[in-house]
């Protein structure tokens, strides 16, 4: 994954990492406070066991050397668990520091109802206020452009140095407080209350203060808590059971047995895995409003993807005019030009350029009324003085319009449109009153490498559905070339919502991407809604993720991040539980072998002495946590495959490996300790 666009930090990488490690070490000690430890039942039990062994050693219930060694190892185990969480949090704080520099105390030029400007602090702005921003000035608050267009530097938020264009009346009208206007003049309507801006929410999220545990994380936490309670009951009752056979059990050994049996490894790493999942999303320049959104992305069954900008580059350009029989080519060009003069979309501007390039010089006549494009009508145009009505749009929409005017649709139109569609281009039909004039050919290019990514998703069991306003022929051609599983042609906003509800009614989780106000209902309905940073405020509020790069194809990366988080948690949980089997064979013989010689048969590792066995198991239990921290933060690398294959690989690598590795490591540690005891 490319991290070059991730949020920047002024310190060099080595210094930044050193400072992060130092901060995490201090935080690991600070987290020993009881109010923090109770949030993690497994590590809280280890911390309580540390105190019990310290008291037992002071009271003379254990040999001082052995007792203090156990106490020290247990304390280190707790600190390592705290360090894993603190290290993940420190990365978020480093990112938050760069965001705070963008959220400085700003001044705004607020417009009153009479249109007069007043200088006010940005903190006094309220939703609905209008502010004027010119070249060289920072954006004082989150909002939407209602007048003008400008290039804006969003590097403070996205880390991307290239300026972006934001324009009123389009789906790329949103601006963020703290970014810089580089050109022109815009009027912005404020949409966020002070303290609830986009940057404020980002800072809170990356610092972890608003991190909510995911359902899977909560369920796993409950399971670990129940396991810990069960082993605690077993260990507490063990002295009474041993008393019936006359076997005294030392309290320090009991604590050691408990710590080795409970799942301390995953207990120490679980918070770090959750935080790291959100950090990995942010490194991909995706702001997840909660950890739940990242994890749900890993369980997604269906992806709804807009064609334009996601599957194709989204830069559809008019490449040709196709006049119908009996229609002069100049008449078609002139009508297309007039219908597009007030069209702010890239397609509309490209039609004007193509017509101008063929020596068309018409301008909009006085009294002309321009009709903007809408997703409901799927056409736009102009009404001219004298009752002349020119329209351009989808073939079915123009056909209905012409028929409503009392005209007829020539049979040649379908042939022309189908010819354009079979090439993968989009046909736009032009009409003048009740007469159809011809077809405009709009061409786009499929993004490189998407077919392979769709194949990866298919291997993971994720179905991809392309949504487009194109006619079925064009949609079928693009879908086949891109490699998506299904498509919805001539789609309206309500069609997206209906498809999401239909998939969810079948028990499937759905993800989609959107940037416009008309996408907001579908984004809110989807299980994972990825909104574009450049989109409208309504879309960003409705989605549970925001892509800072405004790249619709980022949804594919989000799914892979979610899959990786789920696999990482599952792999480390498997490894942790498998560890307990090996530690059982190390500790239990040490407890009873002296009093019950038959128990020596369980000492399959032939450890040097009971004390060495206990210390070896505890040392391994402690050091395995920091050894796994990089894996927890980076995530387990995975290849796209089905659930059965993933489970098989998980059990083979982390299950079998989790049983075998402790046997080897504990035996090696025992050899070292035995040599030291001999010396």
Look at residues 676, 639, 669 and name the one whose alpha carbon lies nearest to residue 661: 669
Please indicate if the annotation marks 347 as binding a ligand: yes
Please indicate if the annotation marks 503 as binding a ligand: no
Please indicate if the annotation marks 31 as binding a ligand: no
Please indicate if the annotation marks 380 as binding a ligand: yes
Please indicate if the annotation marks 343 as binding a ligand: yes
Look at residues 214, 319, 193 and name the one whose alpha carbon lies nearest to residue 273: 214
* Dihedral-angle region of residue 228 (phi above 0 means left; psi in -120 to 50 means alpha; beta otherwise): alpha
Place of tokens 């009479």: 114
Rounded CA separation 249/588 (Å)? 11
Rounded CA separation 474/468 (Å)? 9
Please indicate if the annotation marks 377 as binding a ligand: yes
Residues 6+ apart with CB under 8 A from 107: 119, 120, 121, 122, 140
Is the torsion defined by CA of 629, 631, 632, 634 positive or negative? positive
Please indicate if the annotation marks 612 as binding a ligand: no
Please indicate if the annotation marks 378 as binding a ligand: yes
The SS3 call for residue 324 is coil
What is the 8-class DSSP label of residue 61? S
Rounded CA separation 674/256 (Å)? 19
Kindly name the residue from 129, 142, 171, 306 that is annotated as catalytic.
306
Positions of E strands within 104-203: 107-111, 117-121, 130-134, 143-147, 149-153, 164-167, 174-175, 180-181, 185-190
Can you read off the two tokens belonging to residue 108?
Answer: 């705004």
Residues 6+ apart with CB under 8 A from 310: 513, 552, 553, 555
Look at residues 328, 366, 364 and name the one whose alpha carbon lies nearest to residue 348: 364
Please indicate if the annotation marks 173 as binding a ligand: no
Residues 6+ apart with CB under 8 A from 370: 341, 342, 364, 380, 381, 382, 383
The SS3 call for residue 321 is strand
Tell me, yes or no, if 306 is annotated catalytic.
Answer: yes
Please provide the DSSP assignment of 98-130 as one string: HHHHHS---EEEEEPTTS-EEEEEGGG--TT-E
Please indicate if the annotation marks 641 as binding a ligand: no
Please indicate if the annotation marks 583 as binding a ligand: no
Please indicate if the annotation marks 375 as binding a ligand: yes
Radius of gyration of the CA atoms of the chain, in A? 32
Please indicate if the annotation marks 373 as binding a ligand: yes
Going by the annotation, the residues of the binding site are 343, 347, 373-380, 392, 515, 519
Tell me which residues are annotated as active site.
Answer: 306
- Residues annotated as binding site for ATP? 343, 347, 373-380, 392
Binding site as annotated, residues for Mg(2+):
515, 519
């Amino acid at each position: 994954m490319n991290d070059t666009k991730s949020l920047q930090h002024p310190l060099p990488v080595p210094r930044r990492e050193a400072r992060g490690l130092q901060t995490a070490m201090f935080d690991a000690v600070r987290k020993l406070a009881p109010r923090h430890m109770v949030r993690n039942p497994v590590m809280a039990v280890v911390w309580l066991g540390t105190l019990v062994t310290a008291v037992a050693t002071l009271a003379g219930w254990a040999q001082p050397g052995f007792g203090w060694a156990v106490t020290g190892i247990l304390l280190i185990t707790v600190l390592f668990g705290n360090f894993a969480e603190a290290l993940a949090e420190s990365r978020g704080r480093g990112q938050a520091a760069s965001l705070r520099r963008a959220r400085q105390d700003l001044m705004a030029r607020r417009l009153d109802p009479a249109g007069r400007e007043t200088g006010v602090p940005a903190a006094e702005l309220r939703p609905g206020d209008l502010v004027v921003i010119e070249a060289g000035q920072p954006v004082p608050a989150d909002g939407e452009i209602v007048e003008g267009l400008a290039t804006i530097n969003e590097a403070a938020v996205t880390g991307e140095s290239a300026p972006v264009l934001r324009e009123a009346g389009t789906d790329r009208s949103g601006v963020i407080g703290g970014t810089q206007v580089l050109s022109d003049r815009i009027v912005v309507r404020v949409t966020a209350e002070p303290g609830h801006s986009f940057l404020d929410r980002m800072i809170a999220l990356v610092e972890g203060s608003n991190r909510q545990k995911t359902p899977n994380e909560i369920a796993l936490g409950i399971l670990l808590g129940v396991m810990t309670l069960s082993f605690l009951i077993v260990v507490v009752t063990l002295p009474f059971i041993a008393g019936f056979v006359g076997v005294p059990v030392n309290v320090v050994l009991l604590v050691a047995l408990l710590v080795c049996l409970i799942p301390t490894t995953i207990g120490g790493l679980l918070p770090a895995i959750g935080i790291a999942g959100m950090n990995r999303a942010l490194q991909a320049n995706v702001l997840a409003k909660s950890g739940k959104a990242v994890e749900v992305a890993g369980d997604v069954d269906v992806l709804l993807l807009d064609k334009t900008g996601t599957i194709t580059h989204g830069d559809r350009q008019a490449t040709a005019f196709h006049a119908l029989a009996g229609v002069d080519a100049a008449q078609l060009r002139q009508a297309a030009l007039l219908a597009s003069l007030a069209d702010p979309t890239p397609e509309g501007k490209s039609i004007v350029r193509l017509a101008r390039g063929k020596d068309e010089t018409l301008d909009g006549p006085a009294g002309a009324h321009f009709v903007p494009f809408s997703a409901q009508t799927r056409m736009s145009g102009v009404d001219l003085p004298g009752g002349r009505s020119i329209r351009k749009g989808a073939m079915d929409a123009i056909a209905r319009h012409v028929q409503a005017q009392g005209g007829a649709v020539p049979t040649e139109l379908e042939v022309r449109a189908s010819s354009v569609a079979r090439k993968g281009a989009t046909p736009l039909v032009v009409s003048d009153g009740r007469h159809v004039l011809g077809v405009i050919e709009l061409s786009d290019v499929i993004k490189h490498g998407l077919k392979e990514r769709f194949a990866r998703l298919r291997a993971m069991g994720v179905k991809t559905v392309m949504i487009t306003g194109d006619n079925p022929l064009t949609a079928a051609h693009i879908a086949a070339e891109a490699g998506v599983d299904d498509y919805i042609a001539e789609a309206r906003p309500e069609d997206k919502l209906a498809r999401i509800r239909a998939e969810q009614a079948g028990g499937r989780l759905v993800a989609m991407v959107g940037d416009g106000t008309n996408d907001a209902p579908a984004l809110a309905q989807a299980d994972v809604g990825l909104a574009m940073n450049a989109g409208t405020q309504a879309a960003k509020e409705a989605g549970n993720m925001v892509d800072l790069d405004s790249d619709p194809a980022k949804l594919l990366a989000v799914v892979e991040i979610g899959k990786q988080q789920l696999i990482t948690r599952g792999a480390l949980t498997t490894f942790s539980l498998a560890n307990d089997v090996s530690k059982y064979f190390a500790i239990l013989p040490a407890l009873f072998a002296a009093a019950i010689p038959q128990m020596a048969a369980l000492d399959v590792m032939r450890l040097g002495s009971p004390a060495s066995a206990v210390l070896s198991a505890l040392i391994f239990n402690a050091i395995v946590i920091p050894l796994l921290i990089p894996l927890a933060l980076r995530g387990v690398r995975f290849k796209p495959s089905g659930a059965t294959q993933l489970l098989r690989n998980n059990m083979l690598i982390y299950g079998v490996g989790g049983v075998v590795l402790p046997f080897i490591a504990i035996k090696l540690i025992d050899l070292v300790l035995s040599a030291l005891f001999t010396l």
